[in-house]
Amino acid sequence: MPAIVIVGAQWGDEGKGKATDLLGSRVDYVVKFNGGNNAGHTVVIGDEKYALHLLPSGILTPGCTPVIGNGVVIDLGVLFEEIDGLEARGVDTSRLVVSANAHVITEYHRTLDKVTERFLGSRRIGTTGRGIGPTYGDKMNRLGIRVQDLFDDKILQQKVEGALELKNQLLTKVYNRRSLSAESVVEELAQYRDRLRPMVADTSLLLNDALKQGDTVLLEAGQATLLDVDHGTYPFVTSSSATAGGACTGSGIPPTAVDRVIGIVKAYATRVGEGPFPTELFDDDGERLRRNGGEFGTTTGRPRRCGWYDAPVARYAARINGVTDFVLTKLDVLTGWERIPVCVAYDVDGERVEEMPVTQTGFHHAKPIYEYFDGWQEDISAARSLHDLPKNAQNYVAALEAMSGSRISAIGVGPDRDETIVLHDLLESD
């Protein structure tokens, strides 16, 4: 059986958590392959609502093995807080497996994330302040601390001391903060050692063996295509590879094993933090999308910036990820509008552009060119087939499918697991 990848097609918060949970009972492994506790996935199951940050959404499905892959950065305090929170609610987390090669977030990463943002002032990224960028920076600079280092006292001490030689210069001389002692950092990490040890494994070997014996592996992205460090709206991105290619490097599963790529795309658009967003609304419509869609960050509580659906962005995501199927989420949020604008192309300095502009400046200058679709007034949350949707909602979905570069295989009409219209089986190739 194959590996299947789930990615965000916009700027995050498309509903990846719900989609992963939906498929959880039919897959054997769910792997988080990038990011860390900058992610926030809300999963609603009946009356229960779960907010997940570090744990893969498959943790909520009995029998499914959740895996934190090598491409993830782990704040161990947050990991165990999340595990304890779920256990207290009766969720079994005992099958969790953590890659020995994942990097750990320490106090100096969290501090540097916050002070760098303050230092940047108007040029800030609007990060989640969780230490994500500095931890990936250290990984690339070969100064990082990995999960496996926790189990070798000498190595851990050496690596923390090595990293702090540089960090303390930065903290004290550039940012005017106090320096940190290696002992305090080692102590912070070592306190989790015993709880962590039984979870740690060679997750690449585990997953490849699982694939060989016919198991299904679902690779779940944090963040999204436009926040990807290579393919996103750089520098207003996160520091990891959130696209389908990242699923391979972040898990140790080869590209040849990936059978399907499911792109999660909202029926409108949102963004958290700074950076260009051509269809952003600053009027009552934006406020109404935020209110109707509950668009407030799961991680930081920040109000999400809201705007209309952007087809060039979806097409771009289809291309970069090789999307085989889209899941269109939150269609119900659009109920009640007379007409719904959709961005079909951009006007960049007087020129019509159908694709994502090549340069950062081009995208900053991009003005949306809209087409308008008739809206619908009926509550659609009980719809379970395309024919249950009002004609205008069907037309809206058909138009997005035609413009977005791949077929739409499921439609979200509410936050609950059941509030979904399935058009094509997401796990079976047909």
Residues in contact with ligand IMO by CB under 6 A are 8, 11-13, 38-41, 125-128, 130, 132-133, 222-224, 227, 238-239, 272-273
Of residues 134-173, which lie at the interface with ligand GDP (CB under 6 A)? none
- In the numeric block, the tokens 């903290």 are attached to 171
Helix axes 153-169, 182-190, angle to 10 degrees: 130
Interaction of residue 252 with ligand GDP, rule CB under 6 A: no
Residue closer to Mg ion by CB (options 302, 367) is: 302
Does the annotation count 365 as an active-site position? no
Among 7, 9, 11, 17, binds ligand GDP (CB under 6 A): 17
* Residue 346 falls in which region: left (phi positive, over 0), alpha (psi -120 to 50) or beta: beta
Four-CA torsion 320, 321, 326, 331, nearest 10 degrees: -60
Does the annotation count 109 as an active-site position? no
Helix axes 107-120, 182-190, angle to 10 degrees: 120
Least CB distance from residue 58 to ligand GDP, whole Å?
Answer: 13
Residue of this chain nearest to ligand IMO (CB atom): 273
Residue 151, helix vs strand vs coil? helix
Of residues 358-417, which lie at the interface with ligand GDP (CB under 6 A)? 412-415
* Residue 291 falls in which region: left (phi positive, over 0), alpha (psi -120 to 50) or beta: alpha
Contacts of 359 (CB under 8 A, 6+ apart): none
Least CB distance from residue 15 to Mg ion, whole Å?
Answer: 8
Residue closer to ligand GDP by CB (options 4, 333) is: 333
Going along 221-319, which residue ranges are E strands? Answer: 258-266, 269-271, 305-307, 309-310
Please pick, among 13, 21, 75, 149, the residue that the annotation labels catalytic.
13
Please pick, among 21, 28, 41, 228, the residue that the annotation labels catalytic.
41
Interaction site with Mg ion (CB under 5 A): 13, 40, 298
Beta bridge partners of 201: 99
Interaction of residue 336 with ligand GDP, rule CB under 6 A: no
127 binds, among ligand IMO, Mg ion, ligand GDP, none (CB under 5 to 8 A by kind): ligand IMO
Residue numbers annotated as active site: 13, 41
Binding site residues, ligand GDP, CB under 6 A: 8, 12-18, 40-42, 44, 294, 298, 329-330, 332-333, 412-415
